[in-house]
Amino acid sequence: MLRYLLRRVLYAVPVLLGVSLATFILFYGIFPPEQIARRNLSAKNPTSQQIQEWLVAHDYNHPLPQQFKKHMTELMLLRFGRSDSTGEEIWTRIKTGAGPSTIIAGLVFTASLATRLFFALWSAYFRATYVDTWITLVSVFLMSVVYIVLVIAGQYLMGKVLRLFPLAGYQSGWTAFRFAVLPVIIGVISGLGGGTRLFRTFMLEEMNQDYVRTARAKGVPESRILFVHVLKNAAIPIITSTVLAIPALMLGSLVLESFFGIPGLGSYTVDAINAQDFAVVRAMVFLGTLLYIAGAILTDVCYALADPRIRLE
Amino acid sequence: MALLKVENLRTTIRTRNGLSRPVDGVSFEVEAGQTLAIVGESGCGKSMTALSLLQLVPEPAGRIQSGHVWFEGRDLLGLTWEEMRPLRGRDMAMIFQEPMTSLNPTLTVGQQIIESMTVHRTARGKEAHRRALESLERVGVRATAMKQYPHELSGGMRQRVMIAMALVNRPKFLIADEPTTALDVTVQAQILSLISELQKETGMAVLLITHDLGVVSEVADKVAVMYAGQIVESASARELFAKPLHPYTQALLASLPSRSRRGRDLATLEGRVPEATAWPAACRFEQRCLHRFAACALHAPKEAPPEASHPARCHLYDPQFNTTKVAAQPLVTRPSRIGTNTDGDSGSAAQTGQQGSRALVEVRGLTKDFPVRGSILTRAQYQRAVDDVNFSIPRGRTLALVGESGSGKSTVGLMILDLLDPTGGEILLDGRPVSARRGPDRFALRRQMQIVFQDPYASLNARMTVREMLHEALGVHSIGTKGEDRENRAGALLEDVGLSRSALDRYPHQFSGGQRQRIAIARALSVNPKFIVLDEPTSALDVSVQSQILNLLRRLQQEHDLTYLFITHNLGVVDYFADEVAVMQRGKIVEYGEANTLFDAPQQDYTRNLLSAVPTVVQ
Amino acid sequence: MLDWLSNLFPVLVVVVGFWSVRRALRQPLWAEAWRRLKANRLALIALSVIGVYALVGFCDSIAWRNDKNANSLSLIDRAFSRPAEPTYSAPLANKTFGEPTPRALQGRHLLGTDGTGQDVVYLTLKGCRTALIIGGFTLLIATPLALLLGMLAGYFGKRVDDAVQYTYTVLDSIPNILLLIAMLLVLGRGLPQLCVALGITSWVGLCRLARGETLKHREREYVRAARALGISHGRILMHHILPNLLPIIVISVTLGFSGLVLSEAILSYLQLGVAAGTGSWGNMIDASRLELARDPVIWWNLAAASAALFILVLAFNLFGDALRDAIDPRLNS
């Protein structure tokens, strides 16, 4: 197990190198620092003097090879430097933003998994009846709604019309949950359609396997077949699909946090986009990749725990 | 009173092409302690009959329409799903064809056996554990398997586990649906004898579903032959094999390859089983029957009265229609159209063998290693799949490469054709090494050797018409001129393999399995090869179609002076077809020699085991 | 001259589209799939809805200028453009909305007007072309790239496979939205930039699919038989493997289309969508963010854009599902 983990982490190194190379090409090759300076400087037609000063101030004034070395080593050592627009240390913002983001994303993730599983099991148990038909139909409808519309309409309906939750804002401590409820509900609903449908497909696929026929021939009750035999096998593709949910989770935190004014990493990124803050976006891309890779490794471990055919060696 | 009595069972399945009737009025009886075998080709409704008994037909498309299934005096078809459940697995158990997929991969063997008891409350806790161990021990599986998962066991062991699971509640009735089809022949023999032993011990009745007449003749007391959703003949096993009445049964038996039929054509059944969505209104076998007469196309043959000891659903035995009162003569195998030699033992191929003394194909020290696991960090490990294989095939003769699954026989075939690089050794064609050739020389080699694969569904490209396939083959090697000439050649190739020219415009899915195999053979012949590797060419086919293909291959060999490497696990086919035999085990050739000698006096234990495990029809 | 060229392109797209569909329908697989689709009423409705959107998009692409100095106007501009009102107005109202002293309007508007006084029906229709271009051009970029690399990797294996797999593993480990943000920040706002960025993020899934399927088919006996006949690798890839991959590729492209249209809306929210001047549903939705906070609320802008988007995406989802059911996967083996 430990050896497996070590190997997976080692495998991640070339991928991370590739990612930082890709960001280098994007941020230095395609879009050189002079352009960044131009966009960041408030003056409409900055002189070359001003640009040079800005480059020196933000440590961009190196020839390309040196810049490359600096970029690669700093990213790999997780030294993200300072923000282009505010000059603030990026790590300090990451530290303050991590808390709220973890709460929102963690709640959305667990609540999503639970609701999807619930509806998918419901659908599979009542397969080929009107319950199943309705769940499938509603799922397709939900899948077709734009995320943003859901957020806007959800806030309007639950916050403004029904006055159930605070419209936006955030406080640390236990009151955080009061502010988290609305974004979390909307986050869960947004992924419910696609998730339920996917999980339902996994379960129905398992329902058609030979071992289900064996269980029926043994006289195992239908409910036990679904909850023991099928669920245990469907868990394998379900776990795999949760890796795919990680990017969606990040998208969710971007939109939800900025919309509901939650001071997490998502809001930070959206602010950086608006401020044309390339240093922050670069750091966020790398951090997001790290999280994704960590999630993928974690998923593989869960996968091996769920499937006895896979051994971690 | 019979333990199980089925009356007029009808099951339908809704399909895209309409209502399918795989079980269409089936009646039979099984006594306690007896084995009834239902035998027939694929698509005849055997498996659906078995599933109908336990009401396990696939929902919601499948439906049992009518009939009765009397079990210990109760009509099971009157029971609801929940009322039926206590009987399943307790009084009536079932085992399936694929032991790989029929066990739950995420539960241990012990959990699955114990579950059989707990759901019926026949035992629980320590008692259930003890009984599970006991039943595993009885079927010859070690006790440590309790904590193992199905994938950690071999195919044979898994089928034993299935049996242990089915029998742990001591059912009165066991349904075995093709229980040995997926297994190697030696394992098959073990499983069959295990079922018989357990049957003697417990006195249960067994319903065996199979397509293998050899298996039937080894284990069945009674046999019911099924064709097109109906039982067409039933009798005691001995009587059925001694005196088959129905023309279908006769044809099935006559199409079995064996040494005594060597050098002669096998009997064949032309055509195919009609679609279950549209059974013919009159006799369902009429189209393929060699004994048909006028009445057959007009009336459906009546079911024989239940008290008859050997009923056959055929007009030949109905005095109302067959007024001449002449019973059908069992089919005899027709003498070959080509071979003048009707003496079975020395085939005509032996003569050609004398003419061409030099070997066409020679294999020396052939070895192949496959990497088992290898990555950047760990050193690659290799497994030897083929280990120092040597043989030679004289021009115009057939060498059979025999072995169980995983013995490396197909790998040898692929290496000879240069489709897989050997790790070591040499392959000579006409005295020149194959793998040393490069460029155009290597390309020219393709014209001299070809291959025919096992699965006629996978070996043809589903998106190409037969014309496109044959034209492509001719085109690559610039055979003939574009247009009419190639069109004629393609047509002639099809006629050569017994298909009409009209087949050119069609796609593979419009053909039956046997027809597809003919197309694959036509494609191989298109470049006029000297040597063809036949990689299990009949294993995926029903016996009646197998005989058609074997007849065709034999004729083509003589007409085109072909040399064959026949890769197979079917020893009956080898005994009928091959001049020489090489027996492979774990990558090595353990015995190699002239076919008759090898079969009469096998020198190695492995060969002896293999031969004794083959179930044979005693006629 | 330029008008003529830019009008030729949409015509060409339609002609080539029709031609390939007609050719495909001659193949039994597609003919059979079409026969099943025709029996599915929901699929037909979905297909006609897509057809209507396509027609609007096509009409919006046919444009010419009245005189040399004027902007070129499309058929949609000519038919639906209305003179601008001063500001918001409710559907079918005759006065402006939300002003202390409402002013009279120049005309009535079925779905009202937005903050700049533009007719909402017209804006919604203009969004059609943008959505179709985003979906269509992105797939036009991504699909050939994905197929080429995926098939080469799956068929030849070894080094080629390593290189392709490494490339898409790197791309795939950057969460899509972050990669999109990074690229669009660098490339700037605009329709072509959006298509390129979405193309780069969306080819990975298709490529993985194509690679996996090719890997499966490479081991199939029909490919081995073709190799035994000496048929070249290129021909095996193009004539044997590609036609067998097409059904699964077509299904996944159809289902992928709706995802692309949806991402435009999200990117517009992040101020990374198409330029503000280009009519797009994403921009309309983004603009309506604050309108719901007003009292009384302005709902028509949001409703029109999200309904137009919802119906198109729903139609694609339903049609994709029907297509998947119609192309019997069992025919593939």
Q: pLDDT band for position C153 (50/70/90)?
A: very high
B517 Cβ under 8 Å from any chain C Cβ: no
Question: Average per-residue pLDDT in chain B?
Answer: 86
Of B101-115, B284-298, B395-409, B431-445, which one has max mean pLDDT? B101-115
Integer Cα distance of C220 and C231 in angstroms: 15
Structure confidence by residue, pLDDT tens digits, B365-392:
999 988 875 554 555 678 888 989 999 9
| pLDDT at residue number B26 | 93
The answer to whether A215 touches B88, Cβ cutoff 8 Å, is no
Pairs across A and C, CB distance < 8 A = 124
Q: What is the mean pLDDT of residues B550-562?
A: 92
List C-alpha distances in Å: A71 to A28, A30, A60, A62, A81. 10, 15, 10, 11, 10
ipTM: 0.87
Mean pLDDT of B142-159: 90
Average pLDDT score over residue span B83-95: 92
Q: At what angle do helices B348-355 and B543-560 cross, to 10 degrees?
A: 30
Measuring CA to CA, how many Å separate B343 from each of B264, B331, C159?
9, 19, 58
Interval C32-59 mean pLDDT:
91
CA distance C138 to C51: 19
Residue B5: CB partners within 8 Å, gap ≥ 6? B28, B29, B30, B68, B69, B70
CB A104 within 8 A of CB A261: no
A270 touches chain C (CB under 8 A): yes
CA angle in degrees (0–180, nearest 5) for B96-B101-B104? 105
Q: How far is CA C212 from CA A291, B51, B121, C215, C222, in A?
A: 26, 36, 46, 5, 17
The predicted model scores a pTM of 0.85
Average pLDDT rounded to a whole number, residues B179-197: 88
Average of per-residue pLDDT across B603-607: 89
The CATH 3.40.50.300 domain(s) of chain B lie at 1-91+175-180+204-339, 349-613
* Nearest C-alpha neighbor of B197 from the set B139, B275, B130, B279: B139
Nearest CA in chain A to B88: A219
pLDDT of residue B467: 92
Please list every residue in chain A whose beta carbon sits closer than 8 Å to the beta carbon of residue B103.
211, 214
pLDDT (0 to 100) of residue A34: 78
Distance in Å, alpha carbon of C141 to nearest chain B alpha carbon: 26
What is B349-613's CATH topology?
Rossmann fold (3.40.50)
In angstroms, the CA B520 to CA B451 distance is 9
Task: Return the pLDDT at A208.
Answer: 86
d(CA C129, CA C140): 16
Q: How many CB atoms lie within 10 A of CB C190?
A: 14
pLDDT for the residue numbered C226: 93
Q: Extract the tokens encoding A194.
A: 């696609």
Q: Tokens 């109202």 correspond to what residue?
A: C93
C2-81+119-332 topology per CATH: MetI-like fold (1.10.3720)
Task: Report pLDDT digits (tens) over A18-37.
Answer: 998 888 888 887 877 777 77
Read off the pLDDT of each residue in B4-29 and give the average, rounded to a whole number. 90
Q: What is the pLDDT of residue B339?
A: 37
pLDDT of residue B348 exceeding 60: no
Torsion of CA A40, A41, A43, A44, to 10 degrees: -40
**Stretch B474-499: mean pLDDT:** 89
Residue with tokens 């409808």: A141
| Residue A27, token pair as written in the block | 């941020």
User: Which strands form B588-594's sheet, in the order they lie side by side?
Assistant: B449-452, B531-535, B563-568, B398-402, B580-585, B588-594
Quick count: other Cβ atoms within 10 Å of Cβ B15? 12
Does position C285 have pLDDT exceeding 80, yes or no? Answer: yes
Q: Is the pLDDT of residue B16 over 80?
A: no
| Contact with chain C for residue A152, Cβ under 8 A | yes
Alpha-carbon span B599 to C107, nearest angstrom:
100
Per-residue confidence (pLDDT) for residue B450, from 0 to 100: 93
Q: Do C173 and A246 touch (CB under 8 A)?
A: no
| Both structure tokens of B140 | 């010859």
Residue B401 has pLDDT above 90, yes or no: yes
pLDDT over threshold 80, residue B595? yes
pLDDT tens, C288-314? 877 877 777 788 888 899 999 999 999
- Contact flag A156-C297 (C-beta cutoff 8 Å): yes
B535 → chain C, closest CA residue: C221
- CA dist C122 and C125 (Å) reads 5
- Whether residue A147 and residue C265 make contact (CB cut-off 8 A), yes or no, is yes
What average pLDDT does this structure show over B350-365? Answer: 66
Mean pLDDT of C223-251: 91
**Whether residue B58 has pLDDT greater than 80:** yes
- The pLDDT assigned to A155 comes to 82
Give the residue-averaged pLDDT of B202-207: 93
Q: Is the pLDDT of residue B225 over 90?
A: yes
The answer to whether the beta carbons of residues A207 and A230 sit under 8 Å apart is: yes
Which positions in chain B touch C225 (Cβ < 8 Å)? 451, 453, 459, 520, 523-524
Q: How is chain C split into domains, by residue range?
A: 2-81+119-332
Tell me which residues of chain A have a pLDDT lower than 70. Answer: 42-44, 173, 312-313
Q: Which chains touch C (3 or more CB pairs under 8 A)?
A: A, B
Shortest CA gap B372–chain A (Å): 14
Interface membership of A168 toward C (CB under 8 Å): no
Cross-chain residue pair B377–A210, CB shorter than 8 Å: no
Write down the pLDDT at residue B353.
41
Whether the pLDDT of residue B264 is over 60: the answer is: yes
Place B555 in a pLDDT band, splitting at 50, 70 and 90. Answer: very high
pLDDT at C132 over 80: yes
Which spans in A44-129 are helix H? 48-57, 64-76, 90-125
**Using 50, 70 and 90 to split pLDDT, how confident is the model at B109?**
very high
| Cross-chain Cβ contact C244/B461 below 8 Å | yes
B127-136, C78-87, C160-169: range with lowest mean pLDDT: C78-87
The pLDDT of residue B67 is above 80:
yes
Give one word for B408, left, alpha or beta, with left for phi > 0 and alpha for psi -120 to 50. Answer: left
Out of A7, A128, A308, closest to residue B377 by CB:
A7
The one-letter code for the residue type at B533 is V
CA distance A260 to A267: 9
Q: CB-based burial of residue B443 (10 Å sphere; 0-12 exposed, 13-18 middle, 19+ buried)? A: middle
Nearest CA in chain C to B520: C225
Instruction: Specify the pLDDT at position C328.
Output: 62
Condensed to tens digits (0 to 9), the pLDDT of residues C257-268 reads 988 998 888 888
Mean pLDDT taken over chain C: 86
> Shortest CA distance to B171 belongs to which of B72, B78, B87, B113?
B87
Amino acid at C313: V
- Do C298 and C117 form a contact (C-beta atoms < 8 A)? no
- Determine the pLDDT at residue B355: 45
What are the residues facing B450 on neighbouring strands? Answer: B532
**Residue A42: CB partners within 8 Å, gap ≥ 6?**
none
List the alpha helices (DSSP H) in B119-180.
Answer: 125-138, 155-167
**What's residue B343's pLDDT?**
41
CA B148/CA B394 separation, integer angstroms: 49
Across A45-59, A120-134, B280-294, C18-32, least confident range: A45-59
Please name the fold of domain B1-91+175-180+204-339. Rossmann fold (3.40.50)
d(CA B572, CA B117): 42
Q: What is the pLDDT of residue B43?
A: 82
Rg of chain C on CA atoms, in Å: 23
Average model confidence (pLDDT) across chain A: 85
Q: Is the pLDDT score of B115 beyond 60?
A: yes
B592 has which bridge partners? B582
Contact assignment for B106 to A221 by CB distance below 8 Å: no
**Measured between CB atoms, does B299 come within 8 Å of chain A?**
no
Please say if the pLDDT value at position B331 is more than 70.
no
